[in-house]
Amino acid sequence: MPGTDQPKLNVVDQLVKQALLRGPSMYGSRLSVLSSVFFTGGNGYFWNNDGTLGSRYPAPTCTEMKFSDLDSPPAPASALDVESEKFITPFELVKQARHKRLRAIRTLIAEDIDLYARYNLMGDTLDVESLRNYFSIFELDRGLIATAPYEVLDHDWARAMMELLNEAIHTLGDALRVRDSSFSRETANPQLLGYYDKIEELIGKVAKVPGLYNKSAIQGIIDLLEKAKAKRDSNPSAETGHLNTDN
């Protein structure tokens, strides 16, 4: 609303905002941007010694951005004369329609871009297939999230990582049905279970980032992780709960 003070975007929000505006054909939500940043390697990002994220391709400010995938669309068919139209291939017509759609999307999200940059809206979730694709192409051990300097990690980036990891473990947990009394490691999908265990390990690392959570919250997270893992390891039909790292 006009006159209402908007919360200031932190460094993570700014990166998400830039990605959403520059690549609406690639990113549909904050989660999709964070997944691309943290779950992949060779994406141009790297960790600085002070625990902040750096980029090999420094992005301009949001007001100066060049929208690389939208700035040079092909000439619309209506601008061509009748004689030329017969030479337009179906591919070119589809390409023109795609650019028109992407421009409409960019215009739509630009109106509330700060909300899209800061929050995951209802319906913005991870799905098992997207996680499977990320992890099959980019091994978790080599992704940016696994190579973070946890002992000095910037808190804005640490919270964003925890946000993403929580969504991932909830998605994988639902797919594995870890909360069901019938859950068994012996019969669970080994690939998804391996991802689940690794995500759980990474959550434990982020929880221990100095100063991110108070001591009781850290211990609560660690205890929950250890208890859940012990149950799954010792009792094939143990019931396991989701994690709650809100502080």
pLDDT per position as a tens digit, 71-119:
554 444 455 444 555 566 777 777 777 777 777 777 777 778 888 889 9
pTM: 0.74
Per-residue confidence (pLDDT) for residue 69, from 0 to 100: 47
**Counted domains in the chain:** 1
| Residue 69 included in any domain | no
Q: Mean of the pLDDT values across residues 144-165?
A: 94
Instruction: List the single range of 12-16, 18-22, 222-226 with lowest mean pLDDT.
Output: 222-226
Polymer length in residues for the chain: 247
| Residue 106 included in any domain | no
Q: Residue 66 above 60 pLDDT?
A: no
- Contact 92/73 with Cβ under 8 angstroms? no
Alpha helix ranges (H) inside the chain: 11-22, 30-38, 82-85, 90-110, 113-118, 128-137, 155-176, 190-207, 215-234
Please, which pLDDT band fits residue 223 given cuts at 50, 70 and 90? confident
Q: Residue 8 above 90 pLDDT?
A: no
Please, which pLDDT band fits residue 238 given cuts at 50, 70 and 90? very low
| Residue 203 included in any domain | yes
- Contact 164/34 with Cβ under 8 angstroms? yes
Per-residue confidence (pLDDT) for residue 51, from 0 to 100: 94
Average pLDDT of the residues of the chain: 78
Cα angle 188, 191, 194; round to 5: 90
| Residue 82 included in any domain | no
Per-residue confidence (pLDDT) for residue 172, from 0 to 100: 93
| Residue 214 included in any domain | yes
Helical packing angle, 155-176 and 190-207, nearest 10°? 150
**Residue range(s) defining the domain that contains residue 52:** 11-62+113-234
Q: Are strands 53-55 and 45-47 parallel, antiparallel or unpaired?
A: antiparallel
Instruction: List the single range of 25-29, 64-68, 122-126 with lowest mean pLDDT.
Output: 64-68
User: What's the N-to-C CA distance of the chain in angstroms?
Assistant: 29
Cα angle 96, 125, 43; round to 5: 65
Per-residue confidence (pLDDT) for residue 58, from 0 to 100: 65
Of 61, 62, 82, whose CA–CA distance to 21 is shortest?
62
| Residue 98 included in any domain | no
16-48 pLDDT tens trace: 988 888 777 788 889 999 999 998 877 889 999
Q: Residue 4 above 70 pLDDT?
A: no
| Residue 197 included in any domain | yes
| Residue 104 included in any domain | no
**Rounded Cα–Cα distance for residues 217 and 247 (Å):** 7
Per-residue confidence (pLDDT) for residue 155, from 0 to 100: 95
Please, which pLDDT band fits residue 125 given cuts at 50, 70 and 90? confident
Per-residue confidence (pLDDT) for residue 215, from 0 to 100: 73
